Amino acid sequence: DAGVIQSPRHEVTEMGQEVTLRCKPISGHDYLFWYRQTMMRGLELLIYFNNNVPIDDSGMPEDRFSAKMPNASFSTLKIQPSEPRDSAVYFCASRGTAGSYGYTFGSGTRLTVV
């Protein structure tokens, strides 16, 4: 298994531009999570899906952030418009149904908004 696949690995964009981050979870995993990691705030849960349905988006910082999961093998996190304070590493993670499973993280997308 290739693990959780995220793209792009690095993204540099100008303030005000739209940014789309992509994630392919492990096949068979029915939970998908989006996290943001910064030095100041650590690992923050933004949103998670179960069977492609958003369950909790209370961690999404603002309306500028949106996430979708159109099918079991693909999810996107979009920021529009982007701001410098959105600069962070964004991780996607997936997990199987059983509560005894750990999370498998993707390699992350390092976003820099200038």
Partner 1 sequence: QQPVQSPQAVILREGEDAVINCSSSKALYSVHWYRQKHGEAPVFLMILLKGGEQKGHEKISASFNEKKQQSSLYLTASQLSYSGTYFCGTNNNNDMRFGAGTRLTVKP
Which residues are near partner 1 by CB under 8 A? 31, 33, 42-43, 45, 48, 50, 55-56, 91, 99-108
Q: How far is CA 52 from CA 29, 109, 113, in A?
A: 11, 21, 29
For the bound state, the minimum distance from the C-beta of residue 42 to partner 1, rounded and expressed in Å, comes to 5
What does the buried/exposed string (b/e) look like for 39-59 if buried means 16 or more CB atoms within 10 Å of the residue's CB? eeeeeeebbbbeeeebeeeee
CB of 15 to partner 1, least distance (A): 25
CB of 58 to partner 1, least distance (A): 8
**Residues 30 and 50: beta-carbon distance below 8 Å:** yes
* Closer to partner 1 by Cβ: residue 31 or 74: 31
Of 45 and 81, nearer to partner 1 (C-beta) is 45
